[in-house]
Amino acid sequence: MRDVYQEQLAGLSDVLAGMCLQVATAMEQATRALLEVDLQVAEQVIAEDLRIDDLRADAEEKAFGLLLLQAPVATDLRVVTSAIHSAGDIERMGDLALHVAQTARRRHPHPVLPAEVTGYFAEMGSTGTALARKAAEVIRTRDVDMASTLEADDDTMDDLHRHIFSVLLAPSWAHGVRPAVDITLLARFYERYADHAVSVARRVVYVVTGRMPGPLAV
Amino acid sequence: MRDVYQEQLAGLSDVLAGMCLQVATAMEQATRALLEVDLQVAEQVIAEDLRIDDLRADAEEKAFGLLLLQAPVATDLRVVTSAIHSAGDIERMGDLALHVAQTARRRHPHPVLPAEVTGYFAEMGSTGTALARKAAEVIRTRDVDMASTLEADDDTMDDLHRHIFSVLLAPSWAHGVRPAVDITLLARFYERYADHAVSVARRVVYVVTGRMPGPLAV
């Protein structure tokens, strides 16, 4: 049987993995709100964001309590300091999903996206959602090989991001400045969401190996 | 005379305050590169960013060492956990200054900004730079009243951000989509830079009072 201390450490990882699943759902729904011009789904994402913020506060409190009462060392200390970082990253992922939902709400009942970019955003949504679910799995299993696969998914996101800009900046773009501004910011939200998921996975690699893999692309 | 432990804690705050001053200079120079279409200054900001990343690694290492060897409690523990958060925020401010410089470099020898928005960016640059210098001072002095003044500066930044969008989206905008895309991202970089400075100041309030002030606007 694990002792209280080990339970607390495991509990901290559980909160983080749960947060990842929540922000995955948030991004999935926010993308649906965007693509299907669905105000109700947008509102749901916006309302749920407060729960993600609460989970972050919970994770930070648990981390602080462990440092205070258990003074962890070695791997355990890395678990706790990494949790502090990752809670911030995952909360930010929730904020970015929130921004997508807010954009859908702001333009409702009009769609934000002209038809020629909806396919890219559908892919960005599924790539982002998959990244967040994988990050949850990496936190749960501490699987370093799986952690490294997030880098490839992030490359997919970066490619999508670049494609979207090439559409916006092509001479054939016929929708003017306002949709271009919306799309520029939306694409950035998805790209940053993916960066944070990679960052979470890298922290797990650090927990396991004691070394941080390469710096986040900025 | 202070003991080694107190020296280490003070050293951690010194690194953070130094980082704030560096990212203030980075944003000041990046803004200059942008406004004066100065490639050399842009290159300098880009080269210096590695030093900011190193300082973050240094801050994290110092924080980790303190947790491991000193097992701090109470205010001291808050100093260390807040330092972990703030090092991340300040490094991100450096990345955002880097993005501004990279944008200036990407368009060189052409200016990124049409004349009607240069004034706004000059103001965003000085507001951002002032926020970072104030954050350094707040870290050094733990002055809670000064910390709260960063919120007002952040409101100024948000106002500038909104004004820029109103220029981009006005019927009189004659520069097409590409500058609008660049300006949308640039304005976002300044706005996020300010958010991170506020976040650093709030962590100092938490160190002093044990309570986090209101959540960051997202």
Q: How distant is the Cα of A1 from the closest Cα of chain B, in angstroms? A: 26
Inter-residue contact B116 to B169 (CB < 8 Å) = no
Q: Which two tokens stand for residue A168?
A: 């916006």
Residues in B touching A68 (Cβ below 8 Å)? 73, 77
Answer left, alpha or beta for residue B149, where phi above 0 means left and psi between -120 and 50 means alpha. alpha
Q: Which two tokens stand for residue B143?
A: 């002055």
Compute how many other C-beta atoms are within 10 angstroms of the C-beta atom of residue B89. 26
Of the residues B66, B70, B82, B177, the best mutation for testing chain A's interface (the one with the most A CB atoms within 10 Å of its CB) is B177
User: Per-residue pLDDT averaged across B96-121, rounded?
Assistant: 97
Query: Over chain A (218 residues), what is each successive 10-residue block's mean pLDDT?
Result: 86 97 98 98 97 96 96 95 97 98 97 97 98 98 96 97 96 96 98 98 96 66
Q: How distant is the Cα of A177 from the closest Cα of chain B, in angstroms? A: 5
For chain A, give every domain's residue range: 4-209
Q: pLDDT value at position A64?
A: 96
Separation CA B176–CA B195 (nearest Å) = 29
pLDDT band at B212 (very low <50, low <70, confident <90, very high): confident
DSSP H helices, chain B, are 4-36, 39-70, 74-107, 115-141, 144-168, 177-209
User: Are A95 and B218 inside 8 Å of each other by CB?
Assistant: yes
Sign of CA dihedral B205, B206, B212, B216: positive
Whether residue B1 is predicted with pLDDT greater than 60 in this model: the reply is: no
Q: pLDDT value at position A2?
A: 61
Nearby residues of B140 by Cβ (< 8 Å), 6 or more positions away: B13, B17
Of the residues A184, A193, A216, the best mutation for testing chain B's interface (the one with the most B CB atoms within 10 Å of its CB) is A184
Residues in A touching B71 (Cβ below 8 Å)? 67, 71
pLDDT band at B217 (very low <50, low <70, confident <90, very high): very low
Alpha-carbon Rg for chain B, nearest whole angstrom, is: 19
The chain-wide mean pLDDT, for chain B, equals: 95
For residue B54, give the chain A residue with the closest CA.
A215
Separation CA A101–CA A98 (nearest Å) = 5
Out of A68, A73, A77, name the one closest to residue B77 (CB).
A68
- Alpha carbon of residue B84 to chain centroid: 15
For residue B96, give the chain A residue with the closest CA.
A218
Q: pLDDT value at position A217?
A: 46
Q: pLDDT value at position A213?
A: 87
Separation CA B105–CA B36 (nearest Å) = 12
**A157 to A83, A102, A122: CA distances (angstroms):** 25, 21, 11
Whether residue B6 is predicted with pLDDT greater than 80 in this model: the reply is: yes
Burial of B16 (0-12, 13-18, 19+ CB in 10 A): buried
Separation CA A198–CA A201 (nearest Å) = 5
Whether residue B218 is predicted with pLDDT greater than 60 in this model: the reply is: no
Out of A88, A177, A184, name the one closest to residue B173 (CB).
A177
ipTM: 0.95
Q: pLDDT value at position B2?
A: 61
User: Are B81 and A88 inside 8 Å of each other by CB?
Assistant: no
Q: pLDDT value at position A218?
A: 46
Q: Does domain B4-209 have CATH number 1.20.58.220?
A: yes
Q: pLDDT value at position A212?
A: 86
Whether residue B49 is predicted with pLDDT greater than 60 in this model: the reply is: yes
pLDDT band at B213 (very low <50, low <70, confident <90, very high): confident
H/E stretch holding A87: helix A74-107
For residue B86, give the chain A residue with the closest CA.
A85
Separation CA A206–CA B55 (nearest Å) = 18
pLDDT band at B48 (very low <50, low <70, confident <90, very high): very high
